[in-house]
Structure 1
Amino acid sequence: MSKTDRIKLEQVISGALKGLTGEHAGTYYPLTDMKEEDRKQLVEDHFLFKNDDPVLRDAGGYRDWPVGRGIFHNNSKTFLVWVCEEDHMRIISMQQGGDLASVYKRLIEGINAIGKSMKFAHSDKYGYITCCPSNLGTSMRASVLLKIPKLSSQPKKLDEICAKYMLQARGLYGEHTESPDGTYDISNKRRLGLTELQAAHEMAEGVAKMIEIEKGL
């Protein structure tokens, strides 16, 4: 994608986001206009992406950084949209606590609202078209931040649990990052061959089992 294409895409997406209402209504913040201290704080609070993934860098994902990129969020920062991070858009619903149903409901309603102004790239065979092939299908990653210090000290056992329950364990700040105090980002591994709701259920059931095992150690 050229610099001009990315800027045009940012304009289209930010324009569509302006039409959101209710709990999804918010503001779009271009990275080019963001103060460095504000950017760092958003990153530390797990709201904003960075440009330090070596794989994405080698693929040209950070070309012309930070032009054409930004973040949209509502007032409570429970609904966010990343613009031109890895994919054209990453739509996020998040909140503290374990009310997964509310998080999922907010996400689906937000996607449907955005979909009234934009058309998402979709294939009857592969599902939603994404930059990374591992996200093809539903393209949905449901995750929780989970502190599991005992399992963290037994990486082989943690890997076995993730494989058995179709989970993926990432570092606190995403892929290729550390897990201080045994805190991991645990998500569903599968995106393809199941529905969005099934993916969310798979994650929730696997995490419940992981917590049970952690308590038994």
Structure 2
Amino acid sequence: MRWTVPNILTVFRLLAAPAVPIMFLYFARPYADAFALIVFLLAAITDWVDGYLARAWKQETKMGTMLDPIADKAMVVIALMVIAAYSSYSPWLILPATVILFREVFVSGLREYLGDVAGTLKVTTLAKWKTTAQMVAIAVLFSQGIFEHYFGMWSWGMDQQIIIDVLEGREVDHLGLRNMYTGMVWSGWIGLALLWIAAALTLITGWDYFHKALPHLKEDG
């Protein structure tokens, strides 16, 4: 493997994937959410940077071409598993996550079967938007965990009615509970909306890839 800068960034992204759940093993929430968000954002940024540098510096390699989609899928799949595990298994999150995971496994298996032919099936612009939507959705959902836990920490031990009065403006908000609650609600809704959009794009691009692969799956004779 040629250790070019783009390839080093791709390997970093590949190693960052398992680092996301490790944050939840060694840190309490909401710090785990914050560290996981930072790791995920850095990895997502390198996804664009390594491709740009590889083209600009003419350093595209076979190893980099192979590792790049693997790193993307590892980041998305592992991050979704972590988010789903801490979401109380909400069906509104589990369903689009399942669609994304199923598509990635299906297409990976299809590429493995096609072998060298898979390289002729080019990545579409829509597939790139799919990956972008997935990563933005995951980043927003990680941020929701931060808002949620700070809201829980700051309101711990408070009477339920007082919390309601603070949120509705009848009590002075000394702690900033309204900001945390607003951030928690909006990041949750926006994150879910983006995840459903990503799931829809995932289905469309998965079907497109399968349709392009069909001629290579026909039986001889």
Normalised to the residue count of structure 2, the TM-score between the two structures is 0.27
TM-score by length of 1: 0.27
Structure that is richer in strand per residue? 1
Q: Which has the higher helix share?
A: 2
